[in-house]
Amino acid sequence: MESKHQMHCTNCGKEMSKEAEICTSCGVRQGKMIHYCYNCGNEIQPNQELCLECGVNPRKIKRQSVGKSLGNTGTDSVNVALAAILGFFIPGLPSLLWYNQKTKGGVMIVGAILVTIILPLLGLVVVIVGAVDAYQLGQRVNNGETLDEWTFFWSK
């Protein structure tokens, strides 16, 4: 029953948009309470790590980022070239826009600015790491991998 634009609320099981972070039926932020599989709506037990109906990990919600369309290539994939370019000029911006890593993205942007002001040569290293991180994570997203908040390109 998986749809490109629909998922199930992990608290009440009702269908909702993949872009939504909070269910409009029960008002609960997704991932806080996990009673139902986001993919198929099957009931999930408290310690269950795998949905027995569809096989997904119910604790790793795949949500389409609203900003993903900025780098869209016509599918639900991330344009990795655009992500790398943005990651070079503004390290952390692709994390904010496409990878749903708001804390990491914000920290990378502020950190890059501070490092570049204090030590300009080290700032060059930071922007190169930002570009590599954006490119590698874009490839992982395009391969269907779910990224945690603090996933970097060297993380497994």
| Residue 137 DSSP symbol | H
End residue of a domain, out of 64, 86, 108:
64
Shared domain for 17 and 51, answered yes or no, is yes
Q: How many CA atoms lie within 13 A of 143 on its CB side?
A: 8
State the DSSP H helix or E strand holding residue 116, giving kind and residue range, or none if neither: helix 102-118
pLDDT in tens, 31-73: 767 888 888 888 888 878 888 898 888 777 654 443 333 333 3
Shared domain for 93 and 33, answered yes or no, is no
Tokens matching residue 143: 């391969």
pLDDT in tens, 78-103: 788 888 888 889 888 888 777 777 78
CB atoms within 10 A of CB 101: 23
Shared domain for 70 and 136, answered yes or no, is yes
Looking at the 3D structure of the chain, how many domains does it have? 2
Shared domain for 77 and 132, answered yes or no, is yes
Examine residue 50 and state whether it is found in any structural domain, yes or no. yes
What angle (nearest 5°) sits at the alpha carbon of residue 140, between those of residues 139 and 146?
145
State the DSSP H helix or E strand holding residue 6, giving kind and residue range, or none if neither: strand 6-8
Give the domain extent around 80: 66-142
Please choose, from the candidates 67, 58, 64, the residue with its C-alpha nearest in 3D space to the C-alpha of residue 31: 58
State pTM to two decimals. Answer: 0.50
